[in-house]
Chains A and B, each alone.
Chain A
């Protein structure tokens, strides 16, 4: 569920590849120079490929990953259809959360998250300490965050939006069983 640790190796590989290419370009200045009129046409041809690959690739990634977007269904009817859903109210306030202390395992939960004062973040960390879900807690608005916990244990909740001097101490937790 937590994708954070996966992101780092992906980033490092892509960053290393980009750096390698650019450093090779820099090193090419040690070779005998070529006239620009020779470099440019080939470079532009290659660029056409890069343009196509990048545009198609990026749009494809957007489309393919749509099912993993964390948003709740838009229509309330779709919500209600999942009749086994447990609705849980979360209220954030400088510098703490009001929430239940125990939540069920393997059941669809929709957190209804709001704030009584400033913007806060409702960030859920699993028992191993990885973020598994988050949403903003805003005054005047209620954000719906659907989550199903598949791992039992103690979850920590941390504030993930800067909310004032006590921000770093704003945490809570619940047991999932």
Chain B
């Protein structure tokens, strides 16, 4: 294995390991809400805290490895730097893990000030350890973003080249200097990612200052803005990172070529801005927030649908339409991931409408839509990347019967699991309730059945992946 592949697999396998653990916590939480088991609120909220942060980090790790690997194919990138970023993130994950189990930290992965410090049922060291963990994850993430940004800048001739500016505005842009679509994506993710990482370290530093010296006071509205900017953009960027290999994969499976066009570059500039300002929708119900920001939040959330559907999804659909598509598990995961992204996006657009948000804010509608594009989108993209690698290496793919089994259990289970959230959310069941009011427990029991079916499907996916990985390499790299 080349060192580039090794880096890819270290990231991917760690991401999947973290995902697996967090999935078990997710099922346990849903079973608690269904009243099948009773861990009690202390454990429930500890699990919620860990699941939220852990899951986002797990797909971020897959994204970082995947996009780094794609960039590595474009030019020289230091594997050491990538592993250093990885080590920081993993250290952060370990710190967060320790703060929650055994530390008992349960202020939520959104750790809204002053909750980590008020009415805490956990020891002060757990709060500190959690905050240090957040700082380490942010630091590792920022380091990765700087590496990617520096790479795109040197590889494609500075800001004008890497951003696609020269392509859009200069007639004489040299064709070899035009970044491929995944590199435009990488550039945008890196720029937004640096802002995100800075925000994470800013709020982390502020809270650590308060932790060390409680006389340091923080404005709760400021803290909310910075925290949600960090959390929203970090989660959002996991999707945009994955698009890098969705472009590459769709082109490969359809045998068609996907080039950077002016429209694609402009769409990514729009995304750069929307990722940074859409987070205001998390503060819709803070009526004291400066009013124009609420409008900016709604418009940015709405308009982010344009680059997403008109460019990324549209472009992928055109590649597939009446092509010689090879339908393997890899391409099926990439394609269904696009469906999950769009469907979750529809749920998000409804929730981003302020009059509707008035009735949906902090109900289960919120986990409903984000699980649709994180579980049914980003996570499937990650599986798509993994299978794409395995299929390419072995020159084989999975038999049709197995594809049907995986399809029915994985996608069927996912749909049932997600519908439980949607139905409950539309009926006003609050999110983050260990004990839910009606019809919460009923929808939670359907959802738990769905999640167990999904677990079963993913077990098959895992076993099949191991089988493919053990086949002799036909295309060793």
Binding site for B on A (CB under 8 A): 2-5, 7-8, 10-11, 14-15, 18-19, 22-23, 25-26, 28-29, 31-34, 36, 39-40, 43, 47, 50-51, 54-55, 58-59, 61-62, 65, 68-72, 74, 94, 117-119, 121, 123, 125, 129-136, 138-145, 158-169
Contact = CB atoms under 8 A, between A and B. Distances in A.
B287 A72 contact: yes
Given A8-B422, A168-B41, A2 B428 contact: yes
Interface stretch (B58-66, B138-146, B316-324): B316-324
A64 to B, nearest CB: 10
A36 B257 contact: yes
B355 A3 contact: yes
A78 B224 CA distance: 28
Nearest to B433: A168
Given A33-B322, A138-B220, A118 B310 contact: no
Contacts of B107: 164
B294 interface: yes
Contacts of A32: 322
B309 interface: yes
Interface of B: 41-42, 45, 106-108, 110, 112, 114-115, 118-121, 219-221, 224, 256-257, 285-288, 291, 294-295, 298-299, 302-303, 305-306, 309-310, 314, 317-325, 327, 335, 338-339, 342-343, 346-347, 350, 353-356, 358-363, 365, 422-423, 425-428, 430, 432-438
B97 to A, nearest CB: 20
B360 A4 contact: yes
B114 A139 contact: yes
Which of A28, A50, A59, A168 has the most chain B CB atoms inside 10 A of its CB? A168
Contacts of A163: 115, 119
Contact of B42 (A72, A131, A145, A165): A165
B338 A22 contact: yes
Contacts of A10: 350
Given A119-B115, A165-B45, A167-B432, A50 B309 contact: yes
A68 B298 contact: no
Nearest to A18: B342
Nearest to B322: A34
B346 A165 contact: no
A53 B49 CA distance: 40
A18 B430 CA distance: 28
Contacts of B356: 3, 7
Contact of B287 (A62, A118, A145, A158): A145
A165 B324 contact: no
Nearest to B347: A11
Contacts of B432: 162, 167-168
Contacts of B287: 71-72, 135-136, 143-145
Contacts of B422: 8, 11
Nearest to B361: A134
Contacts of A5: 426-427
Given A5-B426, A14-B346, A138 B45 contact: no
A166 B343 CA distance: 33
Contacts of A65: 353-355
Contacts of A72: 287
Contacts of B317: 22, 25, 43
Contact of B220 (A28, A135, A141): A141
A32 to B, nearest CB: 8
A25 B343 contact: no
A58 B305 contact: yes
Contacts of B350: 7, 10-11
Given A2-B359, A33-B322, A39-B322, 7 more contacts: A4-B426, A18-B339, A28-B320, A39-B323, A129-B427, A158-B430, A163-B115
A118 B302 CA distance: 31
A59 B437 CA distance: 36
A136 B342 CA distance: 30
Nearest to B302: A58
Contacts of A29: 320-325, 327
A32 B322 CA distance: 7
Contacts of A117: 114, 118-119
B426 A7 contact: yes
A72 B42 CA distance: 37
Contacts of B314: 43, 47, 50
Which of A7, A28, A140, A165 has the most chain B CB atoms inside 10 A of its CB? A165
Nearest to A115: B220
Given A34-B322, A50-B314, A61-B353, A3 B433 contact: no
A12 to B, nearest CB: 8
A90 B360 CA distance: 21
Nearest to B115: A118
Nearest to A15: B343
